[in-house]
């Protein structure tokens, strides 16, 4: 549920070769191109409060594969983040964005960092919300990591059945990362399916499977070393980066902001303060005219829902 004064986003669908992704869009068509990537088991509603506050930005918030209203992967494999990186650029290509900014939360922040290190020339700004890198692993842990991933995928677990949406709202509010009721309702509205006997989460249960391969410290440093875009990092005092030194490898090209709040502070009352910093960051970093930002868009696979869908 959103406030009656909150701008209603438009909806987009992207037909990629292997799956369909959905997105919500805020801001003027000629605004600074911003792709927003949500966290693990969230969806594009993660940005319902922050995106409308970003002035002069065209924010396209994706439902990442297996989340929200986007399609699940069909190969019964774990949700490694490497395909997400390719899909981010595939979506940008369909939008006609040669260069664009990334705004990522948690897992979406990790994907954003990898994107900026993979094709650094395409990223104009990198804004990270309580996430930056995955926990590195030593090379000798790789065999057990792969074994754990295979075991997880074979279990084929299902989500529990809830009799009411109210139960699901309470579950999100009281989870590891607590949420206000309004934020929980926003995520629930786009993250549940009605089924026989009640409701289930719409996210693919395979998202809970361990990754087949995890990055070492050397891998992460290699990606960080290729990032060219100015970086703005927001660390929640009660979030995933509290007490972490993960930002140490980024260097001097990073603005760091400590935000009093939890992991989803961008969805809560702190959204206004975060937006103010982001507006300054986007305005003062790279000045990019529309000709530089755009390429000939392939809009043949971008679908806008008919009125009422």
Give the percent of the chain with pLDDT over 70.
Answer: 87
| Residue bearing the bigger pLDDT, 37 or 241 | 37
- Judge contact between 165 and 250, C-beta under 8 A: no
- Judge contact between 31 and 6, C-beta under 8 A: no
CA 264 to CA 130: how far, in whole Å? 8
Q: Which two tokens stand for residue 305?
A: 């829902």
Active-site option among 106, 149, 211, 285: 106
Q: Where are the domains of the chain?
A: 10-140+216-303
Q: How confident is the model at residue 100, as a pLDDT?
A: 98
Q: How confident is the model at residue 25, as a pLDDT?
A: 99
pLDDT above 80 for 244: no
pTM of the model: 0.91
Q: Which residue has the tokens 């993979």?
A: 118
Three-state SS annotation for 52-70: HHCCCEEEEEEECCCCCCC
Q: Using CB atoms within 10 Å of the CB of residue 165, give its burial: 0 to 12 exposed, 13 to 18 middle, 19+ buried.
A: middle
CA 137 to CA 130: how far, in whole Å? 20
Does the annotation count 106 as an active-site position? Answer: yes
- Which one-letter DSSP state was computed for residue 232? E
Class of domain 10-140+216-303: alpha beta
pLDDT above 60 for 292: no
301 band by pLDDT with thresholds 50, 70 and 90: low
Q: How confident is the model at residue 75, as a pLDDT?
A: 78
Mean pLDDT for the chain? Answer: 90
Strand residue runs (E) in 38-195: 57-63, 100-105, 123-129, 192-195
């Amino acid at each position: 549920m959103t406030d009656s004064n909150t701008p209603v986003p438009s909806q987009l669908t992207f037909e990629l070769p292997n799956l369909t992704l959905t997105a919500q869009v805020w801001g003027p068509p000629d605004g600074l191109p911003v792709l927003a990537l949500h966290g693990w088991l969230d969806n594009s509603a993660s940005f319902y409060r922050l995106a409308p506050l970003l002035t002069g930005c065209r924010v396209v918030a994706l439902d990442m594969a297996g989340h929200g209203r986007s399609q699940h992967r069909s190969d019964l494999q774990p949700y490694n983040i490497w395909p997400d990186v390719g899909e981010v650029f595939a979506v940008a290509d369909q939008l006609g964005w040669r260069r664009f900014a990334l705004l990522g939360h948690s897992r979406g922040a990790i994907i954003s960092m990898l994107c900026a290190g993979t094709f650094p020339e395409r990223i104009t700004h990198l804004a990270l919300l309580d996430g930056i890198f995955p926990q590195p692993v030593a090379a000798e842990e790789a065999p057990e990591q792969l074994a754990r991933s295979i075991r997880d995928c074979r279990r084929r677990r299902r989500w529990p059945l809830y009799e009411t949406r109210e139960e699901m709202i309470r579950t999100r509010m009281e989870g590891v990362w607590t949420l206000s009721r309004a934020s929980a309702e926003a995520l629930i509205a786009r993250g549940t399916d009605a089924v026989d006997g009640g409701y289930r989460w719409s996210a693919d249960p395979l998202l809970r499977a361990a990754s087949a391969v995890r990055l070492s410290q050397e891998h992460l440093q290699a990606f960080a070393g290729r990032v060219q875009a100015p970086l703005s990092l927001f660390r929640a005092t009660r979030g995933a980066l509290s007490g972490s030194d993960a930002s140490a490898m980024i260097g001097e090209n990073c603005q760091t902001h400590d935000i009093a709040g939890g992991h989803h502070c961008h969805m809560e009352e702190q959204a206004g303060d975060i937006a103010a910093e982001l507006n300054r960051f986007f305005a003062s970093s790279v000045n990019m005219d529309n000709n530089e930002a755009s390429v000939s868009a392939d809009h043949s696979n971008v679908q806008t829902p008919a009125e009422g869908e």
